[in-house]
Amino acid sequence: MNLDNNEHDIDWEKLMERLENGQLPSGMTDAEMKALAAAREMQARLKAGSFSADEGWQRFTEAKDQRKGRIRVLVRTALAAAVVMAAGAAWWTFRAKQPVIQLANAQPAEKVMLRLSGGRTVTLGQDTQLIQNNPIARIKANTDHLEYAAGSGEEQVTVMDTLDVPRGRQFSLRLADGTQVWLNAASRLVFPAAFHGATREVTVEGEAFFEVAHQASQPFIVHAGKTAMKVLGTGFNVNAYGQDLTTTLATGKLLVTAGQEQLVLQPDEQAVLNHHDGSLQKKPVEAHIYTAWKDGDLFFEDAPLQDITASLARSYDYNFIFDDTDLKKMSFTIDIRRPAALQDVLNQITKSMQTVRFEVDGRTVHVKNNSKN
């Protein structure tokens, strides 16, 4: 029998087709049957992990150098089938070793929490719920808003509740006097369930925007760090994230007090409390830059990337690491609706400046310089 002729009896296209769909055709030659059996054996060994993809690839390169030699048909067909299977395994092994590109699409894990004065804690941000309805106050919440209404009781008991908004979240509430408050991510508001007495006083940590209900006989006072803001009716933003606390006036008139110093702000003016010496400074600003967040906008005007990423870290509950510190001072202007996912913001930044590259690892974003990699 001529071995080379037997080798030519194998219809390799037909054989590979049957390997793919698992069907056994009629009229297969003996050589094809033996090759198919060898291929199935190699397939089983691959699935069981007893066949090395690297070994299969090595056999393939060795087989290429043996094309002129005359070997037994069974060995050649089995090797050919094994090469096909091993080459496929090698390709999948190569793909498995490639790094998986992560996207910054994760949603924040923590929820907004309301801590009532009596010790009860309520998770917010879910379905509409009636939290409390008693003579002190009626409290109702929906997915992104909390409403207080003064109770009908005559007893004037001032009890303080706390609203905690974690990183990655925003929440708003209406106080019992009708004042509207927007809380940014990583912020806290301590406030009474109902206002009694000569003043209305609340305490804020982080960032909040206030639209104060006008009550001339009962001034509204906001405490933040070492400052106090006294208003009769106005809209203003308080940012106590950093060491230097800023108060920006959008409408009305605002008295800002820090120790013995006082400033009166007009619209589009900002008071800055210097954390080093405790001094207050006033400067003109465009208020909408500092209040855009409450309207669902991301607005940064010629801001350094370090400041932008610090804000994004709070807004989306991610951490940023600058692998190239030179990028911290690179300036960007961003004016977009706040996307639901951080990845969309990162894409906008890289489109405007291709030097910057972001690599996501879980909830950490590495800021890299494309020109140095």
134 & 159 share domain: yes
Check residue 105 and report its DSSP letter: -
Number of domains in the chain: 3
Residue 144 has what pLDDT?
94
Name the more confident of 99 and 200: 200
Residue 1 has what pLDDT?
40
Nearest one of 286, 288, 283 to 298, comparing CA atoms: 288
Judge whether residue 10 has pLDDT over 90.
no
- Between 12-21 and 73-97, two packed helices, what is the crossing angle to 10 degrees? 50
Question: What is the Cα–Cα distance from 339 to 71, expressed in whole angstroms?
Answer: 65
Residue 151 has what pLDDT?
83
Q: How many CA atoms lie within 13 A of 226 on its CB side?
A: 18
Check residue 316 and report its DSSP letter: H
251 & 186 share domain: yes
- Kindly report the CA angle at 347 between 343 and 352, in degrees rounded to 5? 155
* Among 275, 291, 307, residue at a domain's last position: 291
Question: What is the Cα–Cα distance from 373 to 354, expressed in whole angstroms?
Answer: 13
165 & 31 share domain: no
CB within 8 A of 88, min separation 6: which ones? none
Asked whether residue 104 is assigned to any structural domain, the reply reads no
Residues 256/270, Cβ–Cβ less than 8 Å: no
Name the more confident of 206 and 135: 206
122 & 234 share domain: yes
Per the structure, the complete domain to which residue 58 belongs is given by 3-97
Residue 243 has what pLDDT?
84
For tokens 């994760």, name the residue. 106
CB within 8 A of 11, min separation 6: which ones? 32
Q: Which of 90-99, 166-175, 179-188, 309-318 bottoms out in mean pLDDT, i.e. has the lowest?
A: 90-99
Q: Taking all residues of the chain, what is their mean pLDDT, rounded to a whole number?
A: 83
166 & 283 share domain: yes
250 & 222 share domain: yes
Residue 146 has what pLDDT?
97
Judge whether residue 68 has pLDDT over 80.
no
CB atoms under 10 Å from CB of 281, counted, come to: 13
Judge whether residue 36 has pLDDT over 70.
no
51 & 144 share domain: no
Q: What is the CATH number of the domain that holds 232?
A: 2.60.120.1440
Residue 27 has what pLDDT?
65
pTM score of the predicted model? 0.73
Percent of the chain with pLDDT over 70: 72
Judge whether residue 372 has pLDDT over 90.
no
Asked whether residue 102 is assigned to any structural domain, the reply reads no
Asked whether residue 105 is assigned to any structural domain, the reply reads no
pLDDT tens for 207-250 read 999 999 999 889 999 999 999 999 877 999 999 998 889 999 99
Confidence class for position 64, pLDDT limits 50, 70, 90: very low
DSSP letters, 43-95, are HHHHHHT-S-HHHHHHHHHHHHTTTTS---HHHHHHHHHHHHHHHHHHHHHHH
Confidence class for position 69, pLDDT limits 50, 70, 90: very low
141 & 285 share domain: yes
85 & 121 share domain: no
Q: What is the mean pLDDT of residues 165-183?
A: 97
225 & 259 share domain: yes
Judge whether residue 345 has pLDDT over 70.
yes
Name the more confident of 30 and 283: 283
Asked whether residue 106 is assigned to any structural domain, the reply reads no
172 & 280 share domain: yes
Check residue 192 and report its DSSP letter: E
- Kindly report the CA angle at 60 between 55 and 63, in degrees rounded to 5? 125
Residue 62 has what pLDDT?
55
* Among 291, 318, 344, residue at a domain's last position: 291
* Among 57, 73, 97, residue at a domain's last position: 97
131 & 252 share domain: yes
